[in-house]
Amino acid sequence: MTERVVDVQDAWRERGLVDDAKYREMYEASVSDPETFWGEHGKRIDWMTPFTKVKDTSFAPDNVSIKWFEDGKTNVAHNCIDRHLETRGDQVAIIWEGDDPNDDKHITYKELHGEVCRWANVLKNRGVEKGSRVILYLPMIPEAAYAMLACARLGAIHAIVFGGFSPDSLASRIKGCEAKLVITADEGLRGGRKVPLKANVDEAIKRLDDASVDHVVVVRRTGGNVTMEAGRDVYYDEAAKEVTDDCPAVPVEAEHPLFILYTSGSTGQPKGVVHTTGGYLVYAAMTHEYVFDYHEGDVYWCTADVGWVTGHSYIVYGPLANGATTLMFEGIPTYPTNGRFWEVVDKHKVNIFYTAPTAIRSLMGGGEAPVKKTSRKSLRVLGSVGEPINPEAWEWYYKVVGDERCSIVDTWWQTETGGILITPLPGATKLKPGSATRPFFGVQPVMVDAEGKELDGKCEGNLCIKDSWPGQMRTVYGDHERFEQTYFATYKNLYFTGDGARRDEDGYYWITGRVDDVINVSGHRMGTAEVESSLVAHKKVSEAAVVGYPHNVKGQGIYAYVTLNEGEEGDDALRKELVAWVRKDIGPIASPDLIQFSPGLPKTRSGKIMRRILRKIAEDDFGSLGDTSTLAEPAVVEDLIENRQNRA
Ligand code: WTA
């Protein structure tokens, strides 16, 4: 098969911040002398106390320490708001597009300043100060950005929990970071349906024995009826009446935590990824500018939810640090019609659009007509994130959405990396559909084999990163050892990403997906261990093993092998019951797509489940099961194949 290569179009190069030669020159400078490179680019944000040290980082397995700009002081909210007031106070900072197409708002930088100061004062009045942890459980409304920035303004640490997570998941995150205050809304609104956010918060707090939560601040979104607990709960609009719109930004150390974000790993419960202030903001802002080829005046739209890292770095912090106009969308791509994305693009004259392959694949199913009904002529750059984009979806994005006029940036990164690490730059990089292409400035990808041997040239292996970049996570909240174990113990002196990849003859990277027990469902990370522990908590289940399998729209689907207790019957009713159970326990994104009841699971004689075999059967690819001679009971496999649920 000859690979298709899409050349950089003249228009992209002419407008581009960098061309290929400039990219190579800057990349070379960034890796040969990171101190000088980042010392220079570190100045793209305002510092209240300028830094004199640039980089102090070590990946030594039992002594991982990552510090950037460590003696500098700054404030993220100041950088995202105050410093723009003089030059662009009346420019729109946030365009909000509601779930209902008739609902929208434009918020200028000046207005943003007032809102964020009010929010900060409301929080301050309730004891929030530098270092306090605040949980946000909110829909995609401007208040989510206000609350994030209000925390940053005070030096408080926010931990956002995606609104699709269950009360249990919310409870474990409240407990994990001992939050004193929770910010939520009465109800969320997505695709015309209401989400009972406040009721979920009540449930979550009830489940915690000695709840740390002293205050719940509630934004009125739908006006729906909720229970307010006297002394603990307050409506934001009422609390805001008591405060002014003046609140100074607190200067904090560069390494002061900005946020915690819980994410799934291959073992145990989600871990609290900690990002800090200075390096994170420099990296988010710089990648936002270069990767999307952002120019002054552009309207930029990232369709992620602020509950995920993409929303943190590329709806709020990166774009606002650059003084951009960022669009925030409350709804879903298919409501009220499956042309909604493109209608919003036309309505707000969006220039840069950033979404996930799963959304593209689901819209492809609706054909070209809903797209072609719209003009989309404002569009210039189209981005993709969250999972590998298959070449068919890439071509559809390029041809149907972008009319072969827009460049595509397939951006590879992770919650842990804080910002984009591997990506094309519109003016510089020839594109290959399906490849995230080349590393961003300062990023040194390394390919290793299973034994940790570094591979050269064209190869396939595990993707690691050598040396630190400013946006890197600093620790797992409250558990530095877990941080070291998870990312730095597998391969010496390297950060291990958990992803497999291929590097081609041009040095381009092709991410092949996770090599650990993490699955990627519609661009959302899910640990198989989390789904398993939810399933075995059901009274009829004795054992469960969960793997991913290829899914046309979601990228990967969740396949669960379930062994029931003696005397229980596995039927469709129980399947439904188990799906509902997991939805309720973790959230809808964790719902198993296929459940296979099996009398036993394939185990080694020492009792270890052989996941390799389960994955193959789930993929309907059982012709090549490999060596099964070490199995305790080889007959189990016959039964699994016989009763497999995915007949692709
Ligand atoms: C996957 C999302 C291929 C990858 C920003 C990674 C991708 C995980 C891409 C992180 C891409 C993300 N191509 N795979 N462009 N982007 N991934 O933490 O497996 O939610 O490890 O961060 O998503 O997911 P997370």
SS (H, E, C) 237-256: HHHHCCCCCCCCCCCEECCC
Q: From atom 8 of ligand 1, which residue's Cα is the shortest distance away? A: 414
pLDDT at res. 632:
81
Report yes or no: 235 and 183 within 8 Å, Cβ to Cβ: no
Characterize the bridge pairing of strands 181-185 and 215-219. Answer: parallel
Asked if residue 509 has its Cβ within 6 Å of ligand 1, the reply is no
Q: From atom 6 of ligand 1, which residue's Cα is the shortest distance away? A: 414
Q: Which atom of ligand 1 is nearest to the CA of 310?
A: 5
Q: Distance, CA 514 to ligand 1 centroid (Å)?
A: 9
Report yes or no: 482 and 476 within 8 Å, Cβ to Cβ: yes
Please give the Cα distance from 58 to 80 (Å, whole number): 30
Binding region: 190-193, 310, 386-388, 410-415, 499, 514, 522, 525, 536, 538, 541, 583
Asked if residue 304 has its Cβ within 6 Å of ligand 1, the reply is no
Can you give 158-180 as a three-state secondary structure string?
EEECCCCCCHHHHHHHHHHHCCC
pLDDT at residue 648 tops 80: no
Predicted confidence (pLDDT) per residue in 125-162, tens digit: 999 999 999 999 999 999 999 999 999 999 999 999 99
> What Å distances lie between residue 27 and 21, 22, 41, 282, CA to CA?
10, 8, 13, 17
What is residue 401's DSSP assignment? I
Characterize the bridge pairing of strands 381-385 and 133-137. Answer: unpaired
> What Å distances lie between residue 632 and 541, 613, 637, CA to CA?
22, 13, 11
With bands split at pLDDT 50, 70 and 90, how would you rate the model's confidence at 47?
very high
Predicted confidence (pLDDT) per residue in 393-445, tens digit: 999 999 999 999 999 999 999 999 999 999 999 999 999 999 999 999 999 99
Please give the Cα distance from 606 to 588 (Å, whole number): 35
Asked if residue 511 has its Cβ within 6 Å of ligand 1, the reply is yes
Binding region for CoA: 190-193, 310, 522, 583
Asked if residue 498 has its Cβ within 6 Å of ligand 1, the reply is yes
43: Cβ–Cβ under 8 A, 6 or more apart, which residues?
Answer: none
Phi, psi of 539 (to 5 degrees): -65, -20
Residue 407: count of CB within 10 angstroms of its CB: 27
Q: Which atom of ligand 1 is nearest to the CA of 410?
A: 15
pLDDT at residue 326 tops 90: yes
ipTM of this complex > 0.95?
yes
Characterize the bridge pairing of strands 299-302 and 271-276. Answer: unpaired
Q: From atom 22 of ligand 1, which residue's Cα is the shortest distance away? A: 414
Reported pTM:
0.96
Indicate if the alpha-carbon torsion angle 524, 525, 530, 532 is positive or negative.
positive
Asked if residue 613 has its Cβ within 6 Å of ligand 1, the reply is no
Asked if residue 520 has its Cβ within 6 Å of ligand 1, the reply is yes
Characterize the bridge pairing of strands 193-195 and 215-219. Answer: unpaired
Q: From atom 4 of ligand 1, which residue's Cα is the shortest distance away? A: 387
Asked if residue 426 has its Cβ within 6 Å of ligand 1, the reply is no
> What Å distances lie between residue 581 and 166, 508, 532, 586, CA to CA?
11, 43, 12, 9
Predicted confidence (pLDDT) per residue in 287-322, tens digit: 999 999 999 999 999 999 999 999 999 999 999 999
Which candidate, 406, 403, 333, places its Cα nearest to that of 368?
Answer: 403
- Which residue among 160, 411, 412 has the greatest number of ligand 1 atoms within 8 angstroms of its CB, and so is best to mutate? 412
pLDDT at residue 175 tops 80: yes
Please give the Cα distance from 304 to 321 (Å, whole number): 18
pLDDT at residue 1 tops 70: no
Q: Distance, CA 1 to ligand 1 centroid (Å)?
A: 26
Q: Distance, CA 515 to ligand 1 centroid (Å)?
A: 12
Q: From atom 15 of ligand 1, which residue's Cα is the shortest distance away? A: 412
Question: Is residue 477 packed enough to be buried (19+ CB in 10 Å), middle (13-18) or exposed (0-12)?
Answer: buried
Asked if residue 276 has its Cβ within 6 Å of ligand 1, the reply is no
Asked if residue 284 has its Cβ within 6 Å of ligand 1, the reply is no
486: Cβ–Cβ under 8 A, 6 or more apart, which residues?
Answer: 265, 271, 476
Q: From atom 13 of ligand 1, which residue's Cα is the shortest distance away? A: 388
Q: Which residue has the tokens 């597009």?
A: 97
Query: What does the pLDDT average to over 251-256?
Result: 98
Q: From atom 7 of ligand 1, which residue's Cα is the shortest distance away? A: 387
Q: Distance, CA 386 to ligand 1 centroid (Å)?
A: 4
Asked if residue 413 has its Cβ within 6 Å of ligand 1, the reply is yes
pLDDT at res. 3:
77
Chain centre to alpha carbon of residue 533: 23
pLDDT at res. 608:
84
For residue 286, give the H/E element and its range.
helix 278-291
590: Cβ–Cβ under 8 A, 6 or more apart, which residues?
Answer: 526, 530, 531, 534, 558, 582, 583
Q: Distance, CA 461 to ligand 1 centroid (Å)?
A: 17
pLDDT at residue 628 tops 90: no
Q: How many Cα atoms occupy the beta-carbon half-sphere of 286 within 13 Å?
A: 23
Q: Distance, CA 227 to ligand 1 centroid (Å)?
A: 38
Q: Distance, CA 356 to ligand 1 centroid (Å)?
A: 10
Q: Which atom of ligand 1 is nearest to the CA of 389?
A: 13
627: Cβ–Cβ under 8 A, 6 or more apart, which residues?
Answer: none
